Structure 1
Amino acid sequence: MSGAVKTSAVVIGASGGIGGAFEAALIEEGAFDVVHGFARSRTGAQHLDLLDEASIAAAAAHVAKGPPPTLVIVATGLLHADGHGPEQALSDLDPDWLARLYAVNAIGPALVAKYFLPVMPKSGRAVFAALSARIGSIGDNRMGGWHGYRASKAALNMLVRTLAIEERRRNDRAIVVALHPGTVDTALSRPFQGKVQDGRLLDPERAALQLLDVIEELKVPDSGKLLDFEGEEVPF
């Protein structure tokens, strides 16, 4: 329709398994005039490193040139790297690894919000979604362990809640949510897939489509919540 307002979508972490699936699905669906995919491994205007605030600011400035983004998805996360993985006991705690988990899983998405929420529309429906995890739920923690990952995702959940409150003052139709994708067959989960029940391991394409369906059904009262891939609320 000639008079339709043009919009864009943004995927942060588009080089990852689920991020790449988000980007591909959004392009294929064709609901947005422009789909921006950013990743640390990409170059030029598509480069964004969660540990480099200047690169986040530059990416947001690129998107701000238009059309305005009505959907921003932060599809990033860190669980294991460089010989480090989920802690099984207090004796495994390492301050440098804890700081890195917080930097990627909580601080990075918060900085994305700092720069991208202001370039989203000031009126009308707009969704900012960050991938979190059920394991970051304090109320749902019955097993213990995985201290740093749990805590960093819990921090992300709290940031989403507070960002939602602030964003509502700027745009009362905006929705800021955390999403639990389930266990997805990506490099992040691969070392731990042996414990996944049959039928519960999702391929990235299916996970992305399910979460896009959840996003499509979001209502303003959902802002500030953690929702799973079936649209069910997960307790903080």
Structure 2
Amino acid sequence: MTSAVVVGASGGIGRALVAALAAGGAHDTVFALSRSASSPSAAPQPGPCVQSLPVDVTDEGSVAAAARRVGAAGPVGLVLVASGILHGPGVSPEKALKALDPAAMAAVMAVNAIGPALVAKQILPLMPRRGRSVFAALSARVGSIGDNRLGGWYAYRASKAALNQVLRTLAIETARTHPDLIVAGLHPGTVQTDLSRPFRPDPGPGLFSPEESAAHLLRVVDGLRIGDSGGVFAWDGQPIPP
């Protein structure tokens, strides 16, 4: 068996993905990578096959160090990048252009678009050149240019659109080097996490718990075929337009 890697494993969806993968037993080791992995109280510990490692996706040296430790366990069959930022200190979705802040926009791009690209750069060499494997990252419907009807959220929309382009470009390259690898973006829907808390509706239809979201996403991953590589798919498996 191969190992699985979840980046952003201390977040709501990431933690649930780690737990689901550990319970599924399809991987020798589930590597749970996050900035808080060095804190025992924050690191995911849902099973004996889980190994928590620290990583900062905005620091390539940190990503490379984590990749070396992952690689020591053997080939990687599944990578799920669940890290992301929508709001935080100095960062908030813009309602209008006048609210655009270049430093905040750069920070969002660094985590949401450049971070997954660095993860791919460092972990792709650990993935088998033959046999089905998957590299997926959490995207968002608001990253779709064709589906943008409301405007606003400049930095977040742009970062997810950039991520989708990174994934599409990676799919084209890996079709030559790793012909059985599937690369995809995943839209988890609206999930009860800290990321969505200020912007989500009250609990009701269409609002998922992290565990429900993880189950949906892993079902989508299991159903992906090589012809899907480079696409972005919603939690129900439906493709999202570029």
| TM-score interval (norm. to shorter) | over 0.9
Q: Which residue of 1 is the match for residue 224 of structure 2?
A: 218
* Counterpart secondary structure, 1:155: helix
Separation in 1, partners of 2:214, 2:186: 11
Q: Which residue of 2 is the match for residue 16 of structure 1?
A: 11
* Counterpart secondary structure, 1:233: coil
Q: Note if 1:33 corresponds to 2:40.
A: no
Q: Which residue of 2 is the match for residue 107 of structure 1?
A: 114
Work out the number of aligned pairs and report it.
230
Separation in 2, partners of 1:25, 1:210: 11
Q: Note if 1:145 corresponds to 2:152.
A: yes
Separation in 2, partners of 1:144, 1:186: 23
> Partner amino acid for 1:15?
S
CA contact (8 A) 1:38 1:47 kept: yes
Separation in 2, partners of 1:131, 1:36: 17
Shift of 1:197: 8.0
> Partner amino acid for 1:65?
A
Separation in 1, partners of 2:152, 2:17: 30
Separation in 2, partners of 1:42, 1:27: 17
Moved over 4 A (4+): none
Shift of 1:52: 1.2
- Segment drifting more, 38-47 vs 180-189: 38-47
Deviations along 1:30-64, one digit per CA (max 9) or x if unpaired, are 11111110101112970000111111001111111
Task: Give the one of 188, 204, 207 matched to 1:201.
Answer: 207
* Counterpart secondary structure, 1:46: strand
Q: Which residue of 1 is the match for residue 177 of structure 2?
A: 170
- Segment drifting more, 178-187 vs 63-72: 63-72
Deviations along 1:136-158, one digit per CA (max 9) or x if unpaired, are 00000000001110001000000
Shift of 1:193: 1.4
Shift of 1:66: 2.3
TM-score (norm 1): 0.95
Deviations along 1:101-147, one digit per CA (max 9) or x if unpaired, are 10000000100000011110011101000000000000000000011
> Partner amino acid for 2:18?
E
Q: Note if 1:235 corresponds to 2:230.
A: no
CA contact (8 A) 1:34 1:67 kept: no
- Greater helix fraction, Structure 1 or Structure 2: 1
Shift of 1:81: 0.5
Shift of 1:84: 2.6
> Partner amino acid for 1:41?
S
What's the RMSD between the two structures over aligned residues?
1.3
TM-score (norm 2): 0.93
Which consecutive unaligned segments of at least 5 residues does structure 1 have?
1-5
Q: Which residue of 2 is the match for residue 3 of structure 1?
A: none
Shift of 1:83: 4.5
